[in-house]
């Protein structure tokens, strides 16, 4: 069993490996976890405050760089570049049975799987830990809404679809910016005028996105994670077909599970996904 692992923003493969050690130790010893770096140099990720130096979840605060992002930005062109890099990794280091992503790595996983949903997939299952908001590489996604997204200022003339798109922004991206958690960052005003529309991230409101991811997926978030982060993970979950996913919570925040009970639950969920993949 070979599982590709994608780190969060402002991190790297070796940091992710250290954060994932409790999960790896509890997994079947025959499973191989393969860690890679994102292609874009980046500043240290948010949330890596110095706490317990021996805590593997906070090791990023004690690692020197370099740090990486999977994408330069979240506009369609940047997301396409991130997906193409992921495809290169799969071609060079695969084949893989599954993929595991944390935070930005989980969001890239969802974006990739959604784009490839109608094609044969290189993964049979996906583990998504604390996913942030997935963005599409398709510039046509919600394009008819983005070019009229003035309902950000509360316009009563907004259509129901525009309101849904705006609500997703207000529940996820806007509070993330207010808490300095958007990395790479972008100016929300690009949704308000013609000048920046090509750079506007194509969020995928689940209720407006018909195509769903059908392979087994596991989604795990922390009970103590910020509400806007949990909203991002909920949006990622909404892009998966009902009946094909398992949802769990662990006792921590925006981090990978580390308590014995949480790790055991995550491993059981992975085994559920592996069992389901046999029926694909």
**pTM of the complete model beyond 0.85:** yes
Catalytic residue among 11, 78, 103, 181: 103
Count other Cβ atoms within 10 Å, centred on residue 184: 16
pLDDT of residue 241 exceeding 60: yes
Count other Cβ atoms within 10 Å, centred on residue 210: 5
How high is the pLDDT of residue 56? 45
How high is the pLDDT of residue 178? 86
Question: Average pLDDT in the 17-29 region?
Answer: 96
**217-222 vs 245-250, strand pairing mode:** parallel
Q: Which domains does the chain have, with CATH numbers?
A: 2-138+209-277 (3.40.50.1820)
- 189 tagged catalytic: no
pLDDT of residue 251 exceeding 90: yes
| Structural tokens at position 271 | 């085994």
**C-alpha separations of 256 from 101, 127, 131, 275 in Å:** 10, 11, 11, 22
């Amino acid at each position: 069993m070979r599982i590709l692992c994608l780190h969060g923003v402002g991190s790297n493969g070796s940091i992710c490996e250290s954060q994932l050690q409790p999960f790896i130790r509890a997994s079947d010893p025959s499973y191989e976890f393969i860690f890679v770096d994102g292609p874009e140099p980046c500043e240290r990720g948010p949330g890596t405050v110095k706490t317990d130096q021996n805590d593997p979840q906070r090791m990023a605060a004690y690692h020197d760089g370099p740090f990486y992002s999977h994408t330069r930005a979240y506009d369609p062109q940047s997301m396409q570049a991130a997906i193409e890099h992921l495809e290169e990794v799969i071609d060079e280091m695969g084949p893989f049975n599954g993929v595991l992503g944390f935070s930005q790595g989980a969001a890239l996983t969802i974006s990739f799987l959604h784009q490839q949903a109608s094609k044969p997939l290189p993964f049979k299952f996906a583990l998504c830990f604390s996913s942030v908001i997935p963005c599409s590489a398709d510039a046509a996604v919600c394009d008819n809404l983005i070019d009229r997204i003035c309902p950000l200022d509360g316009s009563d003339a907004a259509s129901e679809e525009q309101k849904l798109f705006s609500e997703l922004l207000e529940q996820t991206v806007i509070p993330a910016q207010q808490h300095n958690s958007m990395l790479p960052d972008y100016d929300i005003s690009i949704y308000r005028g013609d000048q920046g529309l090509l750079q506007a991230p194509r969020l995928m409101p689940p209720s407006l996105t018909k195509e769903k991811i059908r392979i087994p997926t596991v989604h795990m978030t922390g009970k103590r994670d910020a509400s806007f982060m949990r909203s991002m993970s909920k949006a990622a979950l909404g892009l998966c077909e009902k009946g094909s996913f398992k949802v769990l919570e662990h006792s921590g925040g925006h981090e990978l599970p580390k308590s014995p009970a949480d790790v055991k639950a995550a491993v059981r969920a992975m085994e559920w996904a592996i069992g389901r993949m046999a029926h694909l």
